[in-house]
């Protein structure tokens, strides 16, 4: 599950795409490279996220800049697919 892009469905970050940095039985630690840095990820309950099909590689998880860019690219492709 580490490296997956998830969609937040509850909490202050509701409606945002985040990347899973670490996982546990009931919780995941997520970051987006902008508001939530890799150094200080947010702990979220698994019930409060929705999984997407997209996974990031280890290069995209190395720095906040590359993580932010990868999430932005994914967000743009999702928007493009949803538009009629």
Classified by CATH at the fold level, domain 4-82 comes out as SH3 type barrels. (2.30.30)
CA gap 81, 44 in Å, rounded = 27
Bridge partners of 55?
Answer: 4
Q: 19, 55 in Cβ contact below 8 A? A: no
pLDDT greater than 60 at residue 19: yes
pTM above the 0.75 mark? yes
Place of tokens 């490296």: 3
CA gap 25, 1 in Å, rounded = 11
pLDDT greater than 70 at residue 82: no
**Mean pLDDT of all residues in the chain?**
92
**What number is the average pLDDT over the span 30-46?**
96
Domain segments of the chain as ranges = 4-82
The per-residue pLDDT for range 50-70, each reduced to its tens digit, is 999 999 999 999 999 999 999
């Amino acid at each position: 599950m580490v490296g997956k892009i998830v969609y937040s469905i509850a909490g202050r970050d509701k409606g945002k795409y985040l990347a899973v940095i670490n996982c546990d039985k009931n919780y995941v630690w997520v970051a987006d490279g902008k508001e939530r840095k890799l150094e200080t990820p947010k702990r979220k309950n698994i019930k409060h996220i929705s999984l997407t099909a997209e996974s990031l590689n280890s290069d995209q998880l190395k720095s906040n800049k590359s993580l932010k860019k990868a999430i932005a690219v994914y967000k743009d492709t999702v928007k493009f697919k949803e538009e009629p």
